[in-house]
Structure 1
Amino acid sequence: MKIKFIGGAGTVTGSKTLIESNGIRILIDCGQFQGVKTLRELNWELLPVLPSTIDFVLLTHGHLDHCGWLPRLVNQGFKGKIYCTSPTKDIAKLILLDSAKIQEEEANKANKEHYSKHEIAEPLYTVLQAEKVLPHFRVIKPNEQIVLDPEITAVFSNSGHIIGACSIELCLENKILVFSGDIGRDNDVLMYPPTKPVRGDYIFLESTYGDRLHPQTDVKEELEKYINNTVNNGGTIIIPSFAVERAQSVMYLLWQLKVEGRIPEIPYVIDTPMGISALEIFANNQKWHKLPEQEYVAMCAMFTLISDYSETIETIYNKQPKVIIAASGMITGGRVLSYLERYIGMPETTVIIIGYQAEGTRGRKLLEGASDIKIYGKQYEVKANINEIEGLSAHGDQNDLLNWLSQLQNKPSKVFLVHGENEALKVLSEKINEKYHFECIIPLMGQEFDL
């Protein structure tokens, strides 16, 4: 059996792990690289194996960095099945179609305004190519064994990260491989705690927050403070958010604050068509989250839901103080850019960063104190207040990751640490060794191992 790390090694994006066993090829996740240019350029490269020779893709969840390369895979000849949970299928469909639309729009804009370095800017994939992924999906139920081959089975179990997200236990060649996917928090606002593995010969563990702990602060109190201070100064609050789960978590917290009379009567706007569609996924998958139906209905009624871009323009030029939740979460694309073009140069504006910001993204640059940022080929001076609420991350912190390993009844042969930046990988490796005495390996991109 061979394992090859094609993505998500030494970085938090582009997750792809290839398993080869007795002529069968399985890809765990098929994510898109985001962030710095050197990573984004990897999206245009061919895989080290022909997509037509891959039999199955097992998808842990529907975020772009885990599913966003599927249109390229299918376009290059993949004809196999993509297994995932029902919410993951719905989310992946939303995210892939939205991503393709954004890429087509940005390529057209770059060609029209001539700011691309290429003679003709092209999208990584088109909406039509994204649509061709959908017939390959096969929905599975969590905690039920799936037979991929007479000697290969898989079981998906809740990982708590976003709705439908799972870890995957793969049994083959008398060995158990456990792929964590992204691990959620044990005390998340909306998601149930992750299911912990009880056995595993080889563990593949994400390490996004491997070097840090989430602060034990009151998230609602922080939101209340930033909103009231900004409104008192006549400003607008912009919350760049991942459209799935984080947007809904923020909505829920804002709804609670409003019910408690702690934030003012101003417009609260959700401007992400994908986030609005994700609300329907929450409504249709009650067993996957903690939000009671009556609270869900009341929460949605508090917000103005914007789908049409003409309403976006109208909202942007409305001078009234307001709270805007718009995608994307790392400010890499989407409608949040239109708001920032208008508001990032105003000192009364507050931008609240609420999730992990990968290296090279606009969100990371803002957190690091950038004096200006580039949007659609133009530089904009940053005068807005940039605040971070770490307590809203959908990723488990170091303690959550260590705790996820706590129920193992056997000592794994190796723990491969993936989906993390260098310092996070190094620190988590030391902590696991110190606490459990497990051997940890930090694979390099493209590295292959015989198991």
Structure 2
Amino acid sequence: MNNENDALNNEVVSLQSFGAAETVTGSKHLLQTPDLNILVDCGLFQGMKSLRERNWEMPPAELSAVDVMILTHAHLDHCGYIPLFVKNGYRGKIYMSPPTRDLAELILRDSAKLQEEDADKANRRGYSKHRPAEPLYTTKDVETALQHFVTLEPGQTFGLNDHICFKFFPAGHILGACSLEINCYGKTIVFSGDLGRYHSELLPPPVHPVKADFVVMESTYGDRLHGADDPAEAFALAIKDTVFRRGNLLIPCFAVGRAQDVMHILWRLKNAQIIPQSIPVFLDSPMAASAGRSLLKYADWLTLPPGEAVQMFSGVTINQDYRLTEKTIRQKGSKIVLAASGMLTGGRVLEYLKHYLVDARNTVLMIGYQAEGTRGRALLNQVPEIKIHGQYYPVKARILGIGGLSAHADQTELLTWIKGFEQAPNEVFLVHGEPCAQEAFRVKLKDELRVPVTIMKEGRPKLLFRINRSELKVLPLSEMAKQPPVSPVEG
């Protein structure tokens, strides 16, 4: 019997990916069991138009049978499809860590608002081929989805039924990000989620589960190393050079995670008088400001000394109103602007690009991963012009990239994580990576761990194991509640 037929057999446990399979976006991983179907993450597709258009398609039939959803972290490519999933009929609970709950609400509200604004702008200016242009989902849809959110602390084992339980382990990617350990019919399945750095600006290194029979692992930087240099040095050079040329420095960044890292670096540089203390810094993202406040609320998830999270906001002007964007652009003199989105797929950063790209005195500093098909990747590839809202803008500004600030573990760190289990897993399934990175990491894993490694294909079920019900034991759910939570910092 082939894998497709095995997935239909009610005595097997299987895995299917409906996103983040040979790509880095749209994470949706379905664990199918005889009694429960569990969806790990529910993200939007971003990047290339062919991917973005898939957000408008009806979900595959298998996803209509989801009983439980578990969210690893709050980035849009992992949580952004939730409102539409609920709108299409999902009625179950959605489990996540407490910081992820707060950040996911911020991100989903912002996503809905931007979609509503973009649809309205497209209708008024007539640059959409749809008549009328409509948002993928609305703020009202987000409100409905939020009612399904349930929070659990790291290390707290939660039983879903007599044979399935799970718990979170902090993953260090962004505030609240977690890996997921599912104990399922006597086997342990670990979903890495997006893994963070082992030497992060703000967060502790990933906390590792003890064992795993199967691992579903991200592979974003499976073929690359970040380098050991402090990214603050590269920031300082870019800032000094741009100020010397009397230009502006634009830093596109994710509102959750990277914006806070950059603010801390800028605070460090100013505090050490490495860059001019007088240069104004603008944070043009209300969501990034709100995410920054979450740092203060969840200080036990950070490695910062007491009070430093407050100090890093000093000297930063936060643009809450869209009209302040235009005022900031018109303001004379060199300045540093942080604006979302990090891959230039939308948001206020596009307004800055329209004005700053055409001036050779300015610098656009790209940080973090730039997915294929995004404006960020195009700029790093040195395209001569960029299309924004139906018009083309020549690229005359200097485009720089800094890889050391990425929130994703590089190949060495990924290997460190996978080798942290007491013994090697039976099989590793690679997700969330582009084909070249995944193939390089597959070979590396196979050579060093001597275990089977599979690159997940979209919609193709993979049989994990068969169930012998005569040997099953009921999990002691009463004992689970007695297990203490895990500290995000101490592990």
TM-score normalised by L of structure 2: 0.90
Match of 1:56 in 2: 68
Which letter does structure 1 place at the counterpart of 2:153?
A: K
Q: CA deviation at 1:410?
A: 2.7
Q: How does 1:142-181 map to 2 (within 5 A)?
A: 142-181=154-193
Distance 1:216 1:408 in 2: 25
Distance 2:318 2:268 in 1: 18
Which letter does structure 2 place at the counterpart of 1:275?
A: A
The one of 260, 274, 277 equivalent to 2:287 is: 274
Which letter does structure 2 place at the counterpart of 1:76?
A: N
Q: CA deviation at 1:23?
A: 3.1
Contact 2:296/2:310 (8 A) holds in 1: no
Contact 1:196/1:406 (8 A) holds in 2: no
Q: Secondary structure at the match of 2:147?
A: helix
The one of 345, 369, 374 equivalent to 1:332 is: 345
Q: CA deviation at 1:293?
A: 3.4
Match of 1:262 in 2: 274
Match of 2:50 in 1: 38
Q: Secondary structure at the match of 2:314?
A: helix
Match of 2:417 in 1: 404
Match of 2:256 in 1: 244
Distance 1:12 1:30 in 2: 13
Q: 2:422 matched to 1:413? A: no
Contact 1:32/1:68 (8 A) holds in 2: yes
Match of 1:108 in 2: 120
Structure 2: gaps (5+ residues): 1-12, 465-491
Deviations 1:86-136 (A, max 9, x none): 000001000001011111111111111111122221111111111211110
Q: Secondary structure at the match of 1:93?
A: helix
Q: CA deviation at 1:69?
A: 0.3
Match of 2:478 in 1: none
Distance 1:3 1:430 in 2: 22
Which letter does structure 2 place at the counterpart of 1:373?
A: I
Contact 1:417/1:440 (8 A) holds in 2: yes
Deviations 1:394-442 (A, max 9, x none): 0000001000011222332210000000000000001111111111000
Q: CA deviation at 1:34?
A: 0.2
Q: Which moved more, 1:104-113 or 1:76-85?
A: 104-113
Distance 1:401 1:297 in 2: 32
Match of 1:377 in 2: 390
Contact 2:94/2:150 (8 A) holds in 1: yes
Match of 1:310 in 2: 323
Contact 1:239/1:324 (8 A) holds in 2: yes
Q: CA deviation at 1:178?
A: 0.3
Q: CA deviation at 1:292?
A: 2.5
Q: CA deviation at 1:197?
A: 2.8
Contact 1:283/1:293 (8 A) holds in 2: no
Match of 1:386 in 2: 399
Match of 1:216 in 2: 228
Contact 1:353/1:388 (8 A) holds in 2: yes
Q: CA deviation at 1:50?
A: 6.2
Q: CA deviation at 1:138?
A: 0.3
Q: Secondary structure at the match of 1:57?
A: strand
Identity of matched residues, %:
48
Q: Secondary structure at the match of 1:293?
A: coil
Distance 1:297 1:92 in 2: 22
Contact 1:51/1:78 (8 A) holds in 2: no
Q: Secondary structure at the match of 1:391?
A: coil
Contact 2:343/2:371 (8 A) holds in 1: yes
Deviations 1:214-246 (A, max 9, x none): 022231111111101101111000000011121
Which letter does structure 1 place at the counterpart of 2:296?
A: A
Q: How does 1:194-213 map to 2 (within 5 A)?
A: 194-213=206-225
Match of 1:349 in 2: 362
Q: CA deviation at 1:51?
A: 5.2
Q: 2:429 matched to 1:429? A: no
Q: CA deviation at 1:257?
A: 0.5
Structure 1: gaps (5+ residues): none
Distance 1:207 1:389 in 2: 19
Would you say how many aligned residue pairs link Structure 1 and Structure 2?
451
Q: CA deviation at 1:2?
A: 2.1
Q: CA deviation at 1:266?
A: 1.3
Q: Secondary structure at the match of 2:61?
A: coil
Which letter does structure 1 place at the counterpart of 2:345?
A: T
Which letter does structure 2 place at the counterpart of 1:175?
A: K
Match of 1:134 in 2: 146
Q: CA deviation at 1:43?
A: 0.7
Q: CA deviation at 1:49?
A: 2.7
Match of 2:474 in 1: none
Q: Which moved more, 1:262-271 or 1:64-73?
A: 262-271
Q: Which moved more, 1:406-415 or 1:16-25?
A: 406-415
Deviations 1:275-330 (A, max 9, x none): 00001110000111112332222211121111111111110111211000111111
Go from structure 1 to structure 2 and tell me whether the alpha carbon gap of 1:432 and 1:52 turns closer, same or farther (over 3 Å shift): closer
Q: Secondary structure at the match of 1:111?
A: helix
Deviations 1:153-176 (A, max 9, x none): 001001000000000001112111
Match of 2:488 in 1: none
Distance 1:367 1:243 in 2: 20
Match of 1:183 in 2: 195
Contact 2:179/2:191 (8 A) holds in 1: yes
Contact 1:52/1:79 (8 A) holds in 2: no
